[in-house]
Each structure stands twice: as structure tokens, then as C-alpha cells.
Amino acid sequence: MATIELRNITKQYRQAGNVINALDDVSLTIDGGEFLSIVGRSGSGKTTLLDICGLLMRPTSGQVFIDGADAASLPERRRAELRGRAIGFVFQEYNLIPTLDVLGNVMLPLRYSGGDRRDGRDRAMGLLQAVGMSDRVGHRPDQLSGGQQQRVAIARSLIQRPALLLADEPTGAVDTQTAAELLDMLRGLSREDGVTVAIVTHDLDLAASTDRTVRLQDGRVVEDSAGVRVAAA
């Protein structure tokens, strides 16, 4: 489990001489093992918030704590080590390597962490079994459907046994049935394995099925609801 606390997070960009607030004084705690959804219109700051939680981006001001440790101020090398060890990412575009087969894609993070290859292969095969892709281990990404590629991406994100999983529109490019299956998979990670899961989604029905929904508007948290449907902005 991993608990994330954001304190007074602001993220600014400069555009054509103007200062744009992507996030504006956001404070938020995500408890260990929680299944959280983040919703809001395009440009509301959802992906920026996820990137800051995942240490992919530094805030302009504010603090990020992971399990009580101040992660925002760590040197970049330490942040990269923490990302590799404790955080898994799932992206809408899958980001699979086209020249690698399914097994190679799932095992790819181990190349950079120095993990044992034999143990890694066994774990990768177990994860592919869990996501229903064990019969596609030799296939390349262009031989898979969108839903199958997303399953592989989820397996890859779990190869390092992360305590935190961050997913940006994980069901945005798949059909309704596949989206429901992927959601069940993510829910199981939270409830059965204790993984803290935070997803960005535009689907309010999907958001309503998570433990808690946070809605952003113009870079601010305007609604924080547990177990209820969040109204459209």
C-alpha cells in the first residue's frame, strides 16, 4: 500500500508570455489501498495531477508525500528510483514496444531495475495469466486488439510489484465490455492486493464504481465524493 498526500500543489506553465495555472493550490490525500477516480473536462488538470502523483513532473510549489516521505524535493535520481520501485503507470496509448512480443514488453522494466530474469519471467507469465493474455505471449503489439494491448500494459505496470498504480484513461480506447473487465481488474488490485489505484477517466459511470471520485475544474478540486455519482461539470 502507498499513501499519497499533496499539500498546496500549484503547477504553472508559461505560454505566449502568460502564466497558466494547470493546478491551483490542490491539497489531496489518497489513502493506501484506495481506488480513486479523477474526473473533469479537458484542460482541467487531471493528467497533470496524475503526473505529479507519479513523480513524472515537479510542481511549481507545494509538497508531495509518499508514505510520509517528502518526494517532491528528492534529487531526480532518487525520484527515478522511487518511480521504478513503487509506482506503476498505465497510459491510454498503451506505449508497448512494437518490436517486442507480449512477454518482452511485460518484462521490459526489469532491464532497467536489474531484476532476476528467471524470477521476472515467472512473474510475467503469472501476470499474463491473471490478465487473460497467457496465450498471446509470442504476439507483437500489432497483432493484438486495443483491449488486449491494454491488458498487456497493465501486466507490465505490475511487474515491479508497485504499491501505487496510476492509470490515464485506461478504458478510453476500448469497447464497453473490455472497459468493464479492465475496471474489475483494477478494482481487484486495490481490494485484494492492497495496491493504491488512481485513474483519470471521462466516464462518469466508471468513476461512480470507484471508492472515491475527485472532480477538477480549472486546476482546482471542486468536488470530492465517496461512493456517489459525481455530476457532470
d(CA 186, CA 188): 5
Whole-number Å distance between alpha carbons of 173 and 167:
13
Handedness of CA 128, 129, 131, 132 (dihedral sign): positive
Tell me, what's the pLDDT at 114?
63
pTM score: 0.87
What cell was used for 43?
484542460
H-state helical runs in the chain: 46-53, 76-86, 102-113, 117-130, 146-158, 176-193, 204-208
Q: What is the pLDDT of residues 168-214, one digit of tens each?
A: 988 877 778 888 888 888 888 899 889 999 999 988 888 988 999 99
Write down all domains in the chain, each with its CATH number in brackets. 4-95+163-226 (3.40.50.300)
Q: For residue 122, is pLDDT > 60?
A: yes
Q: Pick from 138, 164, 219, 174: which is nearest to 1 by CA?
A: 164
Q: Which contiguous run of DSSP H or E holds residue 25? A: strand 18-30
Q: pLDDT, tens digit, for every residue of 75-111?
A: 999 998 888 889 999 987 888 999 999 999 999 988 7
- Helix 117-130, helix 146-158: angle, nearest 10: 140
